Each structure stands twice: as C-alpha cells, then as structure tokens.
Amino acid sequence: MKSYLAAAVQMTSQPDLDKNLAMAEELIDLAVRRGAELVCLPENFSFLGKEEDKLTLGNDIDLKTEKFLKTMAQKYQITLLGGGFPVPTKDHKVYNTALLVDSDGRELARYKKVHLFDVDVPDGNTYRESNIVKAGKAYPPVYASEKFGKLGLSVCYDVRFPELYRYLSAKGAEVLFIPAAFTAYTGKDHWQVLLQARAIENTCYVIAPAQTGQHYKLRFTHGHAMIIDPWGVILADAGDQPGVAIAEIDPQRLKQIRQQMPSLQHRVFF
C-alpha cells in the first residue's frame, strides 16, 4: 500500500435517525474535501438514544443505516466504516454492528460487538447494554486491503480488552478501528491512554472516531476522536466538538517502527 489520508469522524448523535445521517454526510463530505480516502464513523453514529428505542426502531435504523453507508461510499468513492448501529436479532435484541464498505458499496467486513458495556459509572450513571444488545460470538475480522493495509475491527468497550487486539495483530492487522461513544466520566481518564496502549503494544495505527457532548438527558460523551501512529504519537485529535480528525497512514512509518521495536516477534505466550 501507499500512504493515504484517513479520517476519524466526531459527532453528537441524537435520538433522531434522519438528522444524524444528514450530519454524518456533512462530515463525510468535509473529510473527503480534505483528502481522506478512508473515512470512519463513530459508534451509534446513526442513532444515539435510549437502549429500548434501539429495539423499537431497530429495523428502520438497520435498513436506513446500511443503505446510507453503501450510498455514501459510492457517492464519495471512499472506503467507509460505520462504527456501530443496531441490527435486530431473531430473539428480540440487537447486535451492535460495525460495517466496512468499499467505494462500490460492497460489504468488506462486519463485526458484532462482543464486549457489552454493563457498568455503574462513578458519576451516578448506570449502563446495561446487555439488556437490549446481544453479544457477538465471533472474533473480529481483519480485512486485507491492497490500498489501505490490513484493517482490524472493534467497537468502543472492546478497547479495555487487550487480548482482542493481540488477536487482531496476530492475524496481521496494521490499522485498528476503535469507533466509540465513550462516556465523559471515564473518557477524561482512560480514553487517550487506552488508545495509545493498543497502538504501542501492537505497533499498529489506531483510528478512533468518537461521539462528543450531550445526546439526551444525562448521556454525555468524551469526544477526542483520534488517529494515533504505531509509536503512540497522536497524529490528530478532534477535540470536544463535532468535526473530523485527519492524518496520514504511512506504511513506511509502520515498517520502521516494527523494525525498531519488534515486540510482536518476541511474544512468548499466545
């Protein structure tokens, strides 16, 4: 592969599907005008509302979101990641699903989030993702692209489970997608350091699109969509407002770092 520009999109999604998709298109357009060829949208980009609403509106969200991703990829001639949206199951739940599509609108990879966010956060908020979301059972895929390198998928809470990323790097991943809707309380202490750790320990680029701000009632997210290089250097940070973080993914930089720090070759335990 040659060097290319990637974009990590940052949104403040609401419980309004059509409004969110319109905002996502504006930010995709912005990223493309700045030269991005690989564009990544955050978790819950098409709908961020109450968990029970994901179930009630699941079919509509699923159909419109997948159509949107394929249409945008074709319209802008990009490879596009939808970082997480609800796909209904047969047992009245949904999978939190990330979908990667190419510039022909063809599905390249799909991942059903395996780690569900069931946490009592110290700020008083309680999250029970498993009430509505069904955990995926399969390891996340690594998609090998001649143009963009080997791309490993994950979603949000996965970032706290380093064994998942060890698996991706063992499968050859060079770029790790970590789309998220990270809570504001945990994000201020953990988001950046976790992303840098996953990049450093696996000597991979990390592309981490994010949600930011207030979405409904007491749901606040941290923001700071980032792109990080395999040495842990933050190449781009979107701050705390909607926008895009754009940076170069350089295969020579990746090769250089892996030669200087060949830790993946020194693993003892698998």
User: CA angle at residue 29 from 25 to 35, to 5 degrees?
Assistant: 145
DSSP 8-state code for residue 136: P
Q: Quote the percentage of the chain above a pLDDT of 70.
A: 100
CATH number, domain 4-266:
3.60.110.10
For the chain, give every domain's residue range: 4-266
**43 belongs to the catalytic site:** yes
At residue 63, does pLDDT exceed 80?
A: yes
At residue 8, does pLDDT exceed 90?
A: yes
At residue 10, does pLDDT exceed 90?
A: yes
**146 belongs to the catalytic site:** no
Q: 65 with 87: CB under 8 angstroms?
A: no
Which of the residues 40, 64, 134, 156 is marked catalytic? 156
At residue 16, does pLDDT exceed 80?
A: yes
Q: Quote the percentage of the chain above a pLDDT of 90.
A: 93
The contacts of residue 74 (CB under 8 Å, 6+ apart) are: 103, 104, 105
Q: What is the pLDDT of residues 211-224, one digit of tens each?
A: 999 998 889 999 99
Which of the residues 37, 43, 66, 129 is marked catalytic? 43
Give the CA distances from residue 72 to residues 16, 27, 42, 101, 167, in Å, rounded to whole numbers and listed in that order: 19, 11, 15, 10, 31
Q: How high is the pLDDT of residue 42?
A: 98
Q: 237 by DSSP, 3-state: which?
A: strand
Residue 101 CB-density burial (10 A; 0-12 exposed, 13-18 middle, 19+ buried): buried
Q: What is the pLDDT of residues 73-121, one digit of tens each?
A: 999 999 999 999 999 999 999 999 999 999 999 999 999 999 999 999 8
Q: How high is the pLDDT of residue 41?
A: 99
Q: 152 with 204: CB under 8 angstroms?
A: yes
Q: Pull the structure tokens for residue 117.
A: 């966010």
DSSP-assigned beta bridge partners for residue 244 = 9
Q: What is the mean pLDDT of the chain?
A: 96
**188 belongs to the catalytic site:** no
The contacts of residue 268 (CB under 8 Å, 6+ apart) are: none
Maximum alpha-carbon separation in the chain: 51
Sheet of 205-208, strands arranged across: 142-145, 149-152, 175-177, 205-208, 226-228, 234-237
Phi, psi of 23 (to 5 degrees): -65, -40
How would you classify the pairing of strands 210-216 and 205-208? unpaired
Give the integer Cα–Cα distance in Å for 251 and 257.
10
52: confidence class by pLDDT, cuts 50, 70, 90: confident
Number of neighbouring beta carbons within 10 Å of residue 171: 14
Helices marked H in the chain — which ranges?
A: 17-33, 51-56, 58-76, 162-170, 184-202, 251-260
Which of the residues 54, 64, 112, 113 is marked catalytic? 113
Q: How high is the pLDDT of residue 218?
A: 82
